[in-house]
Amino acid sequence: MQKASKRAFIRKVKRITALFAALAFVFAAMSCAHQNDRSAQATREVFAMDTYMNVACYGKNAEKAADAAVSEIKRIDALLSITSESGSIRNLNEKGSSNVGAETAGIIERALDIHNKTGGAFDITVLPLMELWGFTSGEYRVPEESELKAALDGIGSEKLSVSGDEVSLGGALGIDLGGIAKGYTSDRLIELFKEKGLTSACVSLGGNVQCLGTRSDGGAWRCGIVHPFHKDSGVYLGVIAVIDKAVITSGAYERNFTDENGVRYHHIIDPKTGYPAETGLASVTIVSESGILADALSTACYIMGLDGASAYWRNSAEQFDMILMTNDGRVYITDGIADSFTSDFEVRIINR
């Protein structure tokens, strides 16, 4: 395919994927929409961070809050994108060290903390690997073993250092906050809604959902989890009822390509091998009060696999719950959400 038409094709695929993500969101917000005063409901759709994002605010100030949310999404996208000239990341990646400002430094510190806690599974220094596989440009290819080996020398969040607002890459070649940016953004939106006095709102950033409070009729938000094998047909793995929570999923089905032998390669990279993580999982959904934690852990737990993720959860079960689906079709949930998750599939419980 020519580059231009390839890009157009990628855009089209993204749009279709986003439509389904939006449908999943509508599903999440649906049960409140018909029970609420529609005049007090404000919704917005915005394309940012390479995906479609939806915002729904309820009650007094809903319109103002929804507008503010759109501005905030655009601001954070410009701040954290690896290509944005006005942002903090591109400059850092080009120069190797720079003053990124307090906000970005805080996000990087959080990423380093999660890197340490997940045994290195979550690693924002994967950028050179993302580039080699073509996930940053959309020009996908399977890198040579030797290219991956050479790139792995420059991978490792241990190389990074943060001192105040000053970040240094050390020997790392660049950082990519794609595994954490949307979760950070949804946290920020919820804070902003609270500042505006809202008590009921829900955002879906490319399928990553975060809710403030309850629906305005007082009920829990019902969030449909995309079935990784039927992502385009509206079949859900199940539905989770949540109040004040982020529900964030990582899956191989979200962004991938297939080579001439029919082998599929996806965008969640194991920083230890340089290859897309293949641990037998098809998707991981994290349910947590913290969007940033949920986003990072959905990526990390995917890489850790069922056993690794379960062990990790047992050590920090007060911070999050999860819904896992294996490639062979088994569904697992942690016991903290046993009463709030419903599914047509057989569900196995991971106990503490």
Nearer to Mg ion, 216 or 295 (CB): 295
In the list Mg ion, ligand ADP, none, the entry touching 255 (Cβ below 5 to 8 angstroms by class) is ligand ADP
Q: Tell me the window of 34-42, 119-127, 223-231, 257-265 that interacts with ligand ADP (CB under 6 A).
A: 119-127
Structure token pair of residue 275: 């290859």
In the list ligand ADP, Mg ion, none, the entry touching 201 (Cβ below 5 to 8 angstroms by class) is none
CB closest to ligand ADP, residue no? 178
Sheet with 281-288: list strands edge to edge: 41-48, 51-58, 200-205, 208-213, 246-251, 281-288, 320-326, 331-334, 347-350
176 lies in the binding site for ligand ADP (CB under 6 A): yes
Q: Rounded to an integer, what distance in angstroms lies between the CA atom of residue 104 and that of residue 160?
A: 14
Nearer to ligand ADP, 198 or 309 (CB): 309
104 lies in the binding site for ligand ADP (CB under 6 A): no
Q: Rounded to an integer, what distance in angstroms lies between the CA atom of residue 296 and that of residue 250?
A: 9
In the list ligand ADP, Mg ion, none, the entry touching 178 (Cβ below 5 to 8 angstroms by class) is ligand ADP
Count the site residues for ligand ADP by CB under 6 A: 22
For the CB of residue 99, give the shortest distance to ligand ADP in the complex, in Å.
Answer: 23
175 lies in the binding site for ligand ADP (CB under 6 A): no
For the CB of residue 109, give the shortest distance to ligand ADP in the complex, in Å.
Answer: 15
The residues in 277-336 that bind ligand ADP, with binding defined as CB under 6 A, are: 295, 298-299, 303
Distances (CA, A) of 258 to 10, 133, 249, 252, 334: 14, 12, 21, 12, 32
Judged by CB under 6 A, the residue of 18, 89, 124, 282 near ligand ADP is 124
The residues in 26-85 that bind ligand ADP, with binding defined as CB under 6 A, are: none
Nearer to ligand ADP, 307 or 344 (CB): 307
> Which residues, other chains included, contact 55 with Cβ-Cβ below 8 Å and sequence gap of 6+?
42, 43, 44, 45, 46, 66, 69, 70, 73, 189, 201, 203
Distances (CA, A) of 26 to 128, 203, 228, 272: 36, 10, 18, 38
150 lies in the binding site for ligand ADP (CB under 6 A): no
Judged by CB under 6 A, the residue of 271, 274, 291, 336 near ligand ADP is 271
> Which residues, other chains included, contact 81 with Cβ-Cβ below 8 Å and sequence gap of 6+?
49, 87, 89, 90
Nearer to ligand ADP, 220 or 226 (CB): 226
Sheet with 97-99: list strands edge to edge: 97-99, 166-168, 161-163
Q: Rounded to an integer, what distance in angstroms lies between the CA atom of residue 182 and that of residue 187?
A: 9
Q: What are phi and psi of 215, to 5 degrees?
A: -60, 160
Judged by CB under 6 A, the residue of 42, 73, 126, 201 near ligand ADP is 126
In the list Mg ion, ligand ADP, none, the entry touching 136 (Cβ below 5 to 8 angstroms by class) is none
Structure token pair of residue 60: 């007094």
123 lies in the binding site for ligand ADP (CB under 6 A): yes
Reported as half-sphere exposure (CB side, CA atoms, 13 A), residue 89 has a value of 24
Q: What is the DSSP string of 122-152?
A: S-GGGHHHHHHTTTTTS------HHHHHHHH
For the CB of residue 224, give the shortest distance to ligand ADP in the complex, in Å.
Answer: 16
Binding site for ligand ADP (CB under 6 A): 122-124, 126, 130, 135, 176, 178-179, 206, 208, 250, 254-255, 267-269, 271, 295, 298-299, 303
